[in-house]
């Protein structure tokens, strides 16, 4: 190492301060907002559409999964944010624009849902020209919602890469993702408070007024949180421009070149598959949990929405200790394996709780499920950030986000479809119908462990560095 290298390293260290604890918590406000939005779609709308409006669970799941199925655009949005700064920033403006669009789209989705309820005049679901038309419109609105989530979520995750280093990345992930769980708890509290006047069998007009108010207040709060979370962070803490030389920076790495770097290592595909299987297995219960509480445990809408508090509390506790205590001691890979096993066991516990019809048993199961999920996701996200190349961070984050989003969408569809299948095969046993979803989750978790055993970070880093060098050399030629 030359003296110039030492000087440059010291200068960079002085020029770009290390992100502090308070900023980590502030960044977490964005994740907090995203989870509040997820409560609205997968904690309120799923219950309203499946139980109160009686739309088939498979159809509801398909619509709710559309935001995930547009997630291939994450790679594109990530690469665009790498290459084309907006308003002088590579990440911040994209985060804000995406947040504004998904806040508006969420409210519009609810209005379309009421139109769908109006045109379906029968007691059960009937396909007519009008129901088909409004279902198409609802799908379109959810697709726009999903595109906005892709823009803001991908660029925000890339920002986390930009501002963090190897030695503090697990702490950044632990704190920011802890705030995700705070958002689930806060979102559940706000939602249940705004819906508490609703009783079982409430008139559709009363339900409509309460849901409309909820979808005006919460998205507005979320948009403000997105701005507060990110304002000034990129300018002060980003190392994006420091991590590659000026002539060969991100603006010279086109989408095609970024794709060649992304696909240079077989490990990319292996880790992508692991994320796919793990996430599918983790979120299959998303569309059916609140209807499960309503049909099997006889909970009203406000109470079933509050179930997210127990789930979120479990995850929050796990996030609080995993990044700081568990991962440094066990390592990322062993923590992920432990998390997979715990999620499988807790999913079975949720299924068994139905036989008791005791809401307290269900709540206890959700706390355990949350703890297991927190262990798993903190370690998995930390490993994901390790499998990322700084010069094409947005593209890699887009790829990992694609795996997670596509698999979450598949999970939602599978959850709804398996429930409908269980209801048809076991019309007189709702517990077993819902239990089939939880059992399938447990099996999927065990399968994901096998894919994890094939992930090799060293091989990935070697292959991608060679590919990056090749791309940069071709630019020089």
Count how many Cα atoms sit within 13 Å of the Cα of residue 62 in the half-sphere of its side chain. Answer: 12
* pLDDT (0 to 100) of residue 235: 81
* pLDDT (0 to 100) of residue 11: 44
pTM exceeding 0.75: no
* pLDDT (0 to 100) of residue 81: 78
* pLDDT (0 to 100) of residue 200: 59
- For the record, the structure tokens of 182 come out as 């705070």
What angle, 0 to 180 degrees and rounded to 10, lies between the N-to-C axes of helices 255-262 and 457-476? 150
- For the record, the structure tokens of 197 come out as 């006047």
Domains (range + CATH), the chain: 19-231+253-468 (1.20.1250.20)
* pLDDT (0 to 100) of residue 170: 67
**Integer CA distances (angstroms), 169 to 35, 272, 288, in order:** 21, 20, 34
Report the C-alpha gap between 254 and 271 in whole angstroms: 23
Report the C-alpha gap between 415 and 294 in whole angstroms: 16
Kindly give, in sequence order, each residue whose CB lies less than 8 Å from that of residue 54, ignoring residues fewer than 6 positions away: 123, 124, 125
| Average pLDDT per consecutive 10 residues, the chain (477 residues; last block may be shorter) | 41 64 87 88 81 80 84 79 78 90 93 85 75 89 92 86 72 76 82 75 78 91 92 76 51 55 69 84 86 86 82 80 78 87 93 89 91 85 71 64 76 88 84 90 92 77 61 47
């Amino acid at each position: 190492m030359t003296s110039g290298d030492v000087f440059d390293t010291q200068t960079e260290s002085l020029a770009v301060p290390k992100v502090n604890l308070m900023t980590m918590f502030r960044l977490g406000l964005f994740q907090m907002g995203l989870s509040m939005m997820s409560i609205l779609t997968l904690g309120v709308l799923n219950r309203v559409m499946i139980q109160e409006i009686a739309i088939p669970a498979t159809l509801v799941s398909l619509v709710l999964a559309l935001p995930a199925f547009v997630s291939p655009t994450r790679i594109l949005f990530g690469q665009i944010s790498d290459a084309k700064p907006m308003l002088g920033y590579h990440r911040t403006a994209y985060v804000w624009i995406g947040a504004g669009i998904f806040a508006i789209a969420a409210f519009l989705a609810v209005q379309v849902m009421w139109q769908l309820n109006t045109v379906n005049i029968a007691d059960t679901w009937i396909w007519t020209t009008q129901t088909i038309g409004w279902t198409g419109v609802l799908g379109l609105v959810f697709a726009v919602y999903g595109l906005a989530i892709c823009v803001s979520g991908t660029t925000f995750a890339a920002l986390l890469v930009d501002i963090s280093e190897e030695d503090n990345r697990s702490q950044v992930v632990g704190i920011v993702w802890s705030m995700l769980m705070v958002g689930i708890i806060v979102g559940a509290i706000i939602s249940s408070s705004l819906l508490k006047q609703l009783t079982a069998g409430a008139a559709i007009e009363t339900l409509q007024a309460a849901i409309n108010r909820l979808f005006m207040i919460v998205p507005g709060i979320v948009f403000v949180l997105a701005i507060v979370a990110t304002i000034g962070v990129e300018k002060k803490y980003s190392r994006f421009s420091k991590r590659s030389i000026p002539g060969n920076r991100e603006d010279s790495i086109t989408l095609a070149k970024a794709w060649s770097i992304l696909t240079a290592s077989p490990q990319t595909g292996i880790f992508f598959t692991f994320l796919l299987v793990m996430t599918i297995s983790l979120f299959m219960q998303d569309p059916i949990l609140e209807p499960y509480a309503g049909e099997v445990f006889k909970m009203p809408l406000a109470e079933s929405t509050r179930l997210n508090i127990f789930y979120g509390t479990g995850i929050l506790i796990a996030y609080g200790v995993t990044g700081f205590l568990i991962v440094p001691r066990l390592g990322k890979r062993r923590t992920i394996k432990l998390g997979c096993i715990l999620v499988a066991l807790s999913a079975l516990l949720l299924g068994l709780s139905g036989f008791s019809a005791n809401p307290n048993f269900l709540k206890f199961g959700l706390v355990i499920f949350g703890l297991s999920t927190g262990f798993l996701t903190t370690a998995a996200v930390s490993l994901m950030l390790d499998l990322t190349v700084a010069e094409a961070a947005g593209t890699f984050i887009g790829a990992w986000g694609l795996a997670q989003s596509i698999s979450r969408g598949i999970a939602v569809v599978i959850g709804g479809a398996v429930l409908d299948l269980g209801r048809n095969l076991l019309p007189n046993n709702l517990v077993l119908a819902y239990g089939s979803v939880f059992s399938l989750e447990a099996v999927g978790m065990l399968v994901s462990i096998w894919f994890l055993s094939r992930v090799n970070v060293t091989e990935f880093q070697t292959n991608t560095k060679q590919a990056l060098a090749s791309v940069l050399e071709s630019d020089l030629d």
